Amino acid sequence: MLQHSLGHRRRFARAVAATIALTSFSVLTATAQNYEGPQPPIIDVHVHGSMGAQPTAQPMCPNEPGFAASDPATQESANGWVKVACSNPIVPVPPAEYLKQVGADMKRLNVTAVVFGDAASTAKYEEAAPGRIIPGTSFNAPGRDATFLPIEQVEAAFATGKFKVMGEIGLQSRGYSPSDPSLDKYFALAEKLDIPVAIHMGTGGSGRANITMPKFRGSLGDPLLLEDLLARHPKLRVQVMHAGYPMIDNMLTLLQANSHVYVDIAGLVWSYPLVEVNRYIQRLVEAGFEDRVMYGTDLGESGWEGLMAYSISIIQNAEYLTPQQKRDILFNNAVRFYRLDPSKLAK
């Protein structure tokens, strides 16, 4: 019995040793075989030319689970996102470090970005990420008021040839429809110059527009409000920023009727509950628009630079997308919409 037991123990010890060896071998093999090396190129079609976190910026847990109700009889927070603890908070990067980190991230992740801002801010991005910036500028005057730049000034900015897109055009939070006749001159200019326009449609308010944004209207984010504008300007190419979220049916209606319309998933991809985000993107793709969905982040004043890598991973991990559809969303669709030459992009 004793003899048997010792023999058994020896055999058991050998088996354990073999298992350990096998396990470490498998781990090593797995490490070696699932990483292919540098990323294929990616285009982020929605970055703002801001210089890093505002002093008030806070760490953020991406894909918050929802919005909190509040009582007007109490001191209400200006931001209605449900507060949660998370293992992967995105930390605001202060101005001294921001552009350096954005530039390093873009190189590491092989990203070229459409950056919206004025001549000075987009030039700083070009310094931080040489050869990786496609500059865009808008006709919104700086700040959050509903004032717009004189058309001559906008025309002069585009006459330099530096800016390749007109955006971010922010009208919903200022109480305007994109088809408002008073704004038509800007869109006529874009059509004449054959410059695409990028218009904010849909998201916004952070759960408390009723308190903080008196001119914001959810209804002014309806993608179908673009129809009159598109009818007036049949050659206009439109990037619907934030994909008109959450108005999926009207977004699909517009996409079905107008083949010059693309969407970006910026902001929405990391903001809303993850199941909901994936369902929205899946709906766009399964309705037949896999060649119109473009990846974007909406990096901006909050300085949440880590959002670039995080947002890419949402697409890369989407089990409902084929490898080809992932490449289309991360790269090919933006190449087509912006008429880019992939051989000229930085590597």
- List residues binding Zn ion (CB under 5 A): 200, 241
Give the C-alpha separation, 327 to 342, whole Å: 13
- The H or E element spanning position 184 is helix 184-193
* Minimum separation from the CB atom of position 203 to Zn ion (A): 7
Instruction: Give the residue from 165, 185, 218, 223 showing the smallest Cα distance to 45.
Output: 165
Q: How far apart are the first and last CA of the chain?
A: 69
Compute the Cα dihedral for 90, 96, 102, 108 and give only its sign. Answer: negative
What are 293's two structure tokens?
A: 């969905």
Task: Find the residue with minimal CB distance to Zn ion.
Answer: 200
* Minimum separation from the CB atom of position 195 to Zn ion (A): 18
CA torsion 244-126-120-335 (nearest 10°) is -30
* Minimum separation from the CB atom of position 272 to Zn ion (A): 14
Contacts of 139 (CB under 8 A, 6+ apart): 148, 149, 151, 154, 166, 169, 183, 186
Instruction: Give the residue from 249, 305, 246 showing the smallest Cα distance to 44.
Output: 305
* Minimum separation from the CB atom of position 43 to Zn ion (A): 17
* Minimum separation from the CB atom of position 267 to Zn ion (A): 6
Q: Looking at beta carbons only, is 200 or 237 nearer to Zn ion? A: 200
Residue 44: Cβ within 10 Å count:
28
Q: Looking at beta carbons only, is 250 or 297 nearer to Zn ion? A: 297
Q: Looking at beta carbons only, is 41 or 196 nearer to Zn ion? A: 196
Q: Looking at beta carbons only, is 171 or 321 nearer to Zn ion? A: 171
Q: Looking at beta carbons only, is 200 or 233 nearer to Zn ion? A: 200
DSSP code, position 179: T
* Minimum separation from the CB atom of position 242 to Zn ion (A): 6
Residue 125: Cβ within 10 Å count:
25
* Minimum separation from the CB atom of position 261 to Zn ion (A): 16
Q: Looking at beta carbons only, is 220 or 241 nearer to Zn ion? A: 241
Q: Looking at beta carbons only, is 97 or 145 nearer to Zn ion? A: 145
Q: Is the peptide bond before 127 cis (omega within 30 degrees of 0)?
A: no
